[in-house]
Amino acid sequence: MSSDFTLAHKRNATGIPTGRLGMWWVVASEVVIFGGLIVSYLLHRLGSPEWGGEAAFTIVPAGALNTFVLLTSSYFVVVAHKAIGENDREKAFKFLWYTIACAGIFLVVKSYEYTTELTEMAHHHIKDGHMIGTYPVFWYFYFAATGLHAFHVIAGAIAIGYVSFGVRRGENLQRVEYAGIYWHFVDVVWIFLFPLFYIAK
């Protein structure tokens, strides 16, 4: 049924299952990482109102589509979790893969954005091989933040894939909930990035 868990793993002095507790700590540490990046961006931005001009070059419809895609993917992961509760492993497996599909769409949209935004930015800021203009820092933060986020989307999708195979074998079904917690976190980060980088002009 469950794989080789230590006694330590099975004990429960706080009443919260160990895996869930562990996942909340993971989320907490990630919050601080993204928090640091976002706060640095905010402080820089508040000191440089000219950045609004740069933000005009982000593609809002693409960002909005991605927001919708991620929110939908979070919904799918909730459905998968519910299906586990109802003992419907096949449904859970299906919906986990719908989530991964959404992640795929998100990444495709992102690649389109990166290639177009990069050329726009290069056009604006690079002449004869060096930087001109003084506000490319917005772009540094944009690529760093969305890039780090995309990396977490990829990692999350891989983790969900791994969990889905366990579901199919009927093992470690509790991991669907934990993967779901992580995925919701990835979604929430995007909910912060979207207004900060796309909408605030």
Partner 1 sequence: MSDNTQGEHSHHEQSFWSKYVFSTDHFIIGLQYTFTGILMAFIGGYMAYVFRMQLAFPGEAVPGFGVVGPGEYNNLVTNHGTIMIFWVAMPVLVAGFGNFCIPLMLGVDDMVFPRLNRLSYQIFAISCVVIIASQFVPGGGFGGAWTAYPPLSADATYNLTLWGQRLWVIGVALEFVAFLMGGINFVTTTMNARAKGMKFYDIPIVVWFIVIASILFMVSVGPLIAGAVMLLLDQFQVTGFYNPAMGGDPLLWQHLFWFFGHPEVYVVLLPAIGVCAEIIPVFARKKLFAYKIVLWTAVATGALSFIVWAHHQFISGIDPRIANIFTITTLMISIPIAEMIFVYIATLYGGSIEFKTPMLWALAFIAEFLIGGCTGIYLGSTGTDIYFHDTYFVVAHFHFTFVPIAIIAVFAGITHWFPKASGRMLDETLGKIHFWGTIIPFTIMFLLMFPLGMAGQHRRIAGYEIFEELAPYQDIRVIITYCLIAMIAFQFVFFYNVIVSLLSGKKAEKNPWRANTLEWQAPNVPPHGNFPDGFPEVNRGPYEYSVPGRKEDYWPQNAPKEKPTSPKSDKK
- Which chain residues interact with partner 1 by CB under 8 A? 4-14, 16-18, 21-22, 25-26, 28-37, 39-40, 44, 48, 131, 134-137, 139-141, 143-144, 148
Report, in Å, the least distance between residue 101 CB and partner 1. 28
* CA of residue 148 relative to chain centroid, distance: 9
Q: Give the helix, strand, coil percentages of the chain, each rounded to 5.
A: 80, 0, 20
**Residues present in the chain in total:** 201
Task: Select 34 or 76, whichever has its Cβ closest to partner 1.
Answer: 34
Report, in Å, the least distance between residue 72 CB and partner 1. 28
Task: Select 10 or 168, whichever has its Cβ closest to partner 1.
Answer: 10
Report, in Å, the least distance between residue 36 CB and partner 1. 2
Task: Select 9 or 123, whichever has its Cβ closest to partner 1.
Answer: 9
Report, in Å, the least distance between residue 152 CB and partner 1. 12
Task: Select 39 or 60, whichever has its Cβ closest to partner 1.
Answer: 39
Q: Would you tell me the crossing angle of helices 89-125 and 174-193 to the nearest 10 degrees?
A: 20
Indicate the helix (H) or strand (E) that contains 131. Answer: strand 130-131
Task: Select 136 or 161, whichever has its Cβ closest to partner 1.
Answer: 136
Report, in Å, the least distance between residue 4 CB and partner 1. 6
> 38-41 long-range CB contacts below 8 Å, 24 or more apart?
38/145, 38/192, 38/193, 38/196, 40/141, 41/141, 41/145, 41/196
Give CA–CA dist 55/146, Å, rounded. 14
Give CA–CA dist 166/40, Å, rounded. 40
